[in-house]
Structure 1
């Protein structure tokens, strides 16, 4: 069994993990490719300009939809959270709040990233 750092699933804070609000698709695609190791897999113009990125078969979409990025983001369930944290730090991504949270009687190692676009991500792994 591999202990490779891996994105397992995503869960939106607001409405849709495939339509997180941004203002520039090219800048967004470039930053998430560099910082999160994601690959652009699709672009579409309707109903709003949108770019879809993927890593480890997990997709996140970014859309020019007029919503407030500072009020949105996603929880990203990962395997090998220490490896993910080290990977992001090596790419210059600022990590915040490395801690253990408890939800529904389960413990999770978590950390947060606020991307330049204002979106917030809660990386988490069950302990």
Structure 2
């Protein structure tokens, strides 16, 4: 269901968090991601994946409230239902228009402050 992930800031494999284990547990339960790699340099990082799409979390000093990712999905309705079934609050269910294309979208703000923009072309 996950097709691609795009960072808001610099790197979708280094979204800022303060605790890698807490992040890995929450995103595994909430988003259905699985841990695929841990790195120690240039900073502690955990990489999680789902459907071939990787998202990483790092203790890099970044501000989580100013970062996140846009996640392109193949079935926005299924994504919403799955996340809600996992106890995740969905925000701003709406249609956006970007570059002449309509997108069904919703937002999720994780406990760590990272914001996610789930979207699918209509």
TM-score (normalizing by structure 2): 0.99
Give the alignment partner of residue 28 of structure 1, picking from 23, 26, 32: 23
Question: What is the CA–CA distance in structure 2 between the aligned matches of 1:38 and 1:76, rounded to whole Å?
Answer: 13
Q: 2:47 aligns with which of 47, 52, 56?
A: 52
- Number of the residue aligned with 2:78: 83
The gaps in structure 2 that reach 5 residues or longer are none
Structure 1, unpaired ranges of 5+: 1-5
* SS class of match (2:71): strand
2:6 paired with 1:11: yes
Shift of 1:32: 0.3
Provide the aligned length of Structure 1 versus Structure 2: 122
Partner of 1:3: none
1:71 to partner: Cα distance: 0.1
Cα deviation for residue 7 of structure 1 reads 0.3
Distance in 2 of aligned mates of 1:80 and 1:63: 28
Distance 2:33 2:6 in 1: 17
Where do 4+ consecutive residues of structure 1 move more than 6 Å?
Answer: none
Q: State how far apart, in whole Å, the 1-side matches of 2:74 and 2:68 are.
A: 19
Counterpart residue number, 1:39: 34
Give the SS at the match of 1:61.
Answer: strand
